[in-house]
Amino acid sequence: MKIHHLNCGTMRPIGGQLVDGRGGPLRRAELVCHCLLVDTGKELVLIDTGVGTPAALRPAEWLGGPFTRLVGLRTSLAESAVEQVKRLGYAAEDVRHIVLTHLDLDHAGGLVDFPHATVHVYAEELRALESRHPRYRAAQFAHRPQWRSYADLGEPWLGFDAVRELAGLPPEILLVPLMGHTPGHAGVAVDTGDGWLLHCGDAFFFHGEVDPFRPYCPPGLVLFQTVMQTVGEMRRKNQRRLRELNRRDDVTMFAAHDAHDFKRLRAI
């Protein structure tokens, strides 16, 4: 099991320490779209997709003008998941499965670049998309992805209920219910052989937020999470569970947009 850490979309919003905890409030903060490319030895599995190639070619259409301006998106074909897959020596068609934490535009925007892949997602998230929830960008799903959806049922795993394996994927990759940010938000756990790597999506936004002793999140991100949440009580409950899980030495967790953890894990 070989794992590659990919940044599939850099964002530079104004706010500095209010957003990423560093520098003055007028500097541009740094956020990423942290995705995982897992080589199982037989095929590739992509966990989240970033913003996709259309974000570099027609960002306002693909992501919306207000979003691109608010987050200071730095559009780049080179940062797209598909281009990074190719630079690693693979073909786009080698990505046979995509596992999504959720369907927000900066996590599912790259689906269009892998139209042949099976896309794994919680059924509740897919239902929210099919009900035309306004947070999702319909254009990103017009190519009709090959969905494989799951009820939030499963087995206990390290203090979480209803964790499940995924059809056609090895048992080392698990879907973990982390609802709250969106109706069917998930974490994705990967057994690396040396412990678990847990992609938490947007269950939290800042590495200090899951510190089990002195949790902290910059106020700009606190506000953003509150505005974007669908079930606040569930989101906060899952963050408390993640703090407890973070006490373990055999689990490494990260948030999708935290540049600090992306750089740390990529270096390892």
The secondary structure of 155-209 as a DSSP string is EEETTEEEEEE-TTS-TTEEEEE-TTSSTT-EEEEEE-SSSEEEE-TTS-SSGGG
Q: Which of 112, 102, 104, 117 is nearest to 46 (CA)?
A: 117
- Strand-pairing partners, residue 160, are 157
DSSP 151: -
pLDDT tens-digit readout, 52-110: 999 999 999 999 999 999 999 998 999 999 999 999 999 999 999 999 999 999 999 99
CA dihedral over 18, 80, 53, 98, signed as positive or negative: negative
DSSP 8-state class, residue 2: E
Q: What is the pTM of this model?
A: 0.97
Q: Residue 75 has what pLDDT?
A: 85
Helix (H, G, I), strand (E, B) or coil at 266: helix
pLDDT digits (tens, 9 = 90+) for 138-191: 999 999 999 999 998 899 999 998 999 999 999 999 999 999 999 999 999 999
